[in-house]
Amino acid sequence: MEKIDEHKAFGGWQRRYTHASKVCNCDMTFALYVPPQADTQRVPVVYWLSGLTCTDENFVNKAGAQRVAAELGVAVVAPDTSPRGDDVADEDVFDMGKGAGFYVNATQAPWASHYQMYDYVVSELPALLADEFNTTLDLSREAIFGHSMGGHGALVIGLRNIDRFAAISAFSPICAPTEVPWGHKAFPKYLGDDRQAWLAYDATHLLSNADNAEALPPIRVEQGLADNFLDEQLHPHRLEEAAEQVGADVEVNRREGYDHSYFFIASFMEDHLRFLGRHLGV
């Protein structure tokens, strides 16, 4: 693992690393904010998953998370959104290929050889963090959040690993990807035509089929009502319907005038970090 960038911020350190990923079969990059409390104790970890077209850097530079993370004493990990490299499959569109991994394990050629983002986020990256930062990070305390495609990823990963994550939150998530154009485009290419395989990556389906709602992590969703993707792609009402069906703790906050941008994310970043931090015990 190689450190490629670092900046002092609010008493802690915003750093960027690259490493060889066996899961994704290429070099992967991630950002890590380490709060000042890590100088004297191990700190809990929050994972941020970014949306379409983003890298690990968008969140770091635009979300304004470092001040609150430093106050709360939580580390924030922000992986890239997809594999990268000259031999990595891609399409010349914003919503498929590089920058659009959808946090799935692809099963179809040519995507399967690199696009294993679910396993990367759930298994390989946490194992790397545990090995490299075992005196700094407390991987027994984890939470996860994200935006848009990354909100979809956070919901899916959190709901499929309910024993791992203390809480889940999302900004403008794709709540029912099997029902919307983005999912209808990406899932057949990554996962094949069997729609049953798609359901493993659909948060609404996972929530509505939860065996024990009381065991689920609490979920907070922020949705701007001026979001141009809301009606066609995001469908937070479907997540609410599933939550009501099973009695899950899901809060959807609809915000008048806010869009899909990082201006929206930055406006409510503190609220989300405090929500996640509360359930992490900080």
Closest CA to 85 of 104, 102, 98: 98
Is 227 part of the annotated catalytic residue set? yes
Is 237 part of the annotated catalytic residue set? no
Residues 76 and 48: beta-carbon distance below 8 Å: yes
Token duo for residue 242 = 């599933």
d(CA 67, CA 90): 36
Residues 220 and 272: beta-carbon distance below 8 Å: yes
Which of 114, 152, 205, 260 is the catalytic position? 260
The single-letter DSSP state of residue 177 is: G
3-state secondary structure of 187: helix
Is 148 part of the annotated catalytic residue set? yes
By the 10 Å C-beta count (0-12 exposed, 13-18 middle, 19+ buried), 62 is classed as middle
- Amino acid making up residue 104: V
Which of 80, 138, 202, 227 is the catalytic position? 227
Which of 21, 50, 82, 148 is the catalytic position? 148
- Residues tagged active-site: 148, 227, 260
